[in-house]
Amino acid sequence: MSDTLFSHVVIVGLGLIGSSLARDLRTLGLAETLTGIDPDEENRRILLGGGTLDAALALPALERPADLLLIATPPSTWPHLSQVLPALTHADSLIMDVGSVKARAAELFTPAFAGRGTFIPCHPIAGKATSGAAAGEQGLFEHRRVILCPAEGTAETPLRIAHAFWQTLGAEPEMMPAEVHDRVYALVSHLPQMVAYAAMPVLAPHLAAPMEERFRPFLRLAGSPPALWTDIAMANHALLADAMETYLHLIAHMRGELLAGAEHLPEPKSDKTIAARLLPRLAASALVSTVSLSERKHRLKMAPYAGTGFADVASPAAAPPEEDMEAISNYFADVAELLEMFENQFRALFQAVRGLDGQELTSRMNDARTGYLRLYQAPAS
């Protein structure tokens, strides 16, 4: 086995990331034999029928161990998988996961694979709002950053192989401690997800073309699968709750400043549609400020690690401010009302994350996603 050619590769989880890995491995000829494991029959059918996989199984049971094992499943599956997957590997196997929470992955899988290979937590920054094997694509990782979070003392050979593997896929690997990774991505990935979910139900009643298309990027993440994001939020709940609390303080401060300055403003005009156009700028500005404050507090560069999700949610803050600032002054009462509604939606998400209430979090995310799909994916009349 060379650094980029494996005798037997096994991918557990054939969704967006897992199926994209499978397509690259097959196209680039990196696996002599490629096996996929996923309980979803449709995911298995898509990849097996297209010739991407040599074998597709519903359960993790192999006659031949994996030289490379890739774990591409949600965090809620990890406790069970940490019990059953070591039987699929041998002492020289390389094991990598691709989730967006690294400390929890390391906590479960590093001891589980002791003596059965080397586990290296990884996070390719290559997500999309869509999911499933049908959403996967060849070349998904090209020119994308991938974070490797090896434990101290990880042997040089498997670490070199991991780097070479991602580089062969066109990715740009770099290393970061798992705890640092989780703080960074709580802010630049998980937090914007919560902003989009909170904004969707507030804005939906007031959006009309062409505003719908104008704010599609800002709201895009609200179309993401709630179950996956509940998993991620629960796995990184402490750091995400910390980020959300800072964000809430900024939103409350914005609303307070707006109302405090009301006595110096003219009699407000009223138009909820105009106020809805202005809310994304305030929500996006608070997101950018939260990351900036956290960078200074923790002395970490976080902005360079933000992906397209953060860029989309933050995009309204980049528009020229003059026109919006005047409109906020003119319609401050409506803006303050919508801002309070947004704050309440976001606070409910925050309380669910902090309280580890996955059922409540999923329910609220589902409501937001339903609103997003109704607005942006409804059939044309």
Sign, CA dihedral 375-378-380-381, equals: negative
Tens digits of pLDDT across the chain (381 residues): 466 689 999 999 999 999 999 999 999 999 999 999 999 999 999 999 889 999 999 988 888 999 999 999 999 999 999 999 999 999 999 999 999 999 999 999 999 999 999 999 999 998 776 778 888 899 999 999 999 999 999 999 999 999 999 999 999 999 999 999 999 999 999 999 999 999 999 998 887 765 668 889 999 999 999 999 999 999 999 999 999 999 999 999 999 988 886 666 677 788 888 899 999 999 999 999 999 999 999 999 998 898 889 999 999 998 887 778 888 888 888 999 999 999 999 999 999 999 999 999 999 999 999 999 988 875 443
Q: Provide the pLDDT for residue 351.
A: 98
Residue-range domains of the chain with CATH: 6-176 (3.40.50.720), 179-376 (no CATH)
Q: Provide the pLDDT for residue 381.
A: 33
Which of 342, 335, 343 lies closest to 268, judged by CA?
A: 335
Which of 223, 311, 225, 292 lies closest to 16, judged by CA?
A: 225
Q: Name the pTM for this structure.
A: 0.91
Residue 11 and residue 98: Cα distance in Å, rounded?
11
Q: Strand 55-57 vs strand 66-71: parallel, antiparallel, or unpaired?
A: unpaired
